Amino acid sequence: MNKKEQRVNQFQKYVEAFRCPLCKNTMAIVGQQSLVCSKNHTFDFSKNGYVNLLSNGSNSHYNKTLFESRHQIISDSQLYQPLHDILAKIIRENMNSSIHQYLVLDAGCGEGSHLLKIMEKQVFIGVGLDISKEGIQMAAKRYRHPLWIVGDLANLPIEDSKFHTILNVLSPSNYKEFKRILFPGGLLIKVVPRSNYLRELRELLFERTEKERYKNDATVTLFAKHFQLLDIQRLSYTTKLTAYEMRNLIQMTPLAWSAKESRINTFLNQESTEITIDFDILIGKN
């Protein structure tokens, strides 16, 4: 069985969780190669077995180099490991063991590395969704297990009340859609940066701390408007990066897009550096 056939078979088990992004009708797998809705809108599986469920073309800022760097820093360095541990733990603690197929959506999964790392620590049915075709392509090519979908947060190709948990890691939200696809009582876990996130990098690139930019008050208020805020867990630590890891960090972060070349080089010319991770993890109940 090739990769595409395996993926199509996996999709078959959960096909009732998805819906057509154009007419919102249910879909079925036809001919082992397409998702087709009752009005005949057709979405083909790619060679690697992901499916593009965008109602119109994607217009993503992110490219392959960025996703490759993001993959390397998330998968091969220890930078985000404590984050993966805590997210797996939160899912585990809230999981109802009587539910046979516990569905978790990573909304805005990029090239999928965070989701994969979390799934190594906790078993559930993972679905990664991102608007970037490049990101999903890379995820489907690299990783065997989760289901990968190109899709729009504002028009999720998912039926009502189908998911038990949504992960939303350093990525935009659409609370109305999140509420719609979660079971009553389902969980939203949102990771947002705090003021010291990547502080050393920002100080070097911009010669000042941009604390204002990372104020979370408005985010928390908006979150609590839509979800019952159960808890906010703060995760803060400092870790050492090698020169290779620093290069990947620079390539994956939008911070560097607006920085001067000379400052980027100053950062990269260090042999190693300390880097601070500083997050709030918002946990909400539907």
Positions that interact with Zn ion (CB under 5 A): 20, 22-23, 37, 39, 41
CB of 60 to Zn ion, least distance (A): 24
CB of 19 to Zn ion, least distance (A): 8
Does the annotation flag 80 for ligand binding? Answer: yes
For Zn ion, give the closer residue by CB, 37 or 189. Answer: 37
Sequence letter at residue 34: S
**37 marked as binding residue:** yes
Q: Could you give phi then psi for residue 145, rounded to 5 degrees?
A: -80, -60
Query: Are the beta carbons of 135 and 67 closer than 8 angstroms?
Result: yes
If the CB atoms of residues 25 and 236 are measured against Zn ion, the closer one turns out to be 25
Smallest separation (angstroms) from Zn ion to the CB of 23: 3
**Nearest residue to Zn ion, by Cβ distance, number only:** 20
Residue 164 in marked binding region: no
Task: Tell me whether residue 20 is annotated as binding.
Answer: yes
CB-neighbour burial class of residue 67 (10 A; exposed 0-12, middle 13-18, buried 19+)? buried
22 vs 259 by CB, closer to Zn ion: 22
Distances (CA, A) of 258 to 12, 206, 250, 254: 44, 9, 12, 8
Would the annotation count 93 as a binding residue? no
Select 41 or 142, whichever has its Cβ closest to Zn ion.
41
> Is the CB of 25 or the CB of 209 nearer to Zn ion?
25
Whether residue 112 is annotated as binding a ligand: the answer is yes
Nearest to 166 by CA among 231, 103, 96: 103
214 is in an annotated binding site: no
**Residues 6 or more apart in contact with residue 170 via CB below 8 angstroms:** 191, 192, 193
Distance CA 173, CA 39 (A): 29
Least distance (Å) between residue 24 CB and Zn ion = 7
User: Vertex 285, ends 124 and 282: CA angle to 5°?
Assistant: 85
By beta-carbon proximity to Zn ion, the closer residue of 23 and 224 is: 23
Give me the least distance between CB of 113 and Zn ion, in Å please: 32
Distance CA 239, CA 274 (A): 6
What tokens appear for 29 in the block?
């797998």
Q: Residues at the annotated binding site for S-adenosyl-L-methionine?
A: 80, 111-112, 197
Q: Residues at the annotated binding site for Zn(2+)?
A: 20, 23, 37, 41
Q: Residues at the annotated binding site?
A: 20, 23, 37, 41, 80, 111-112, 197
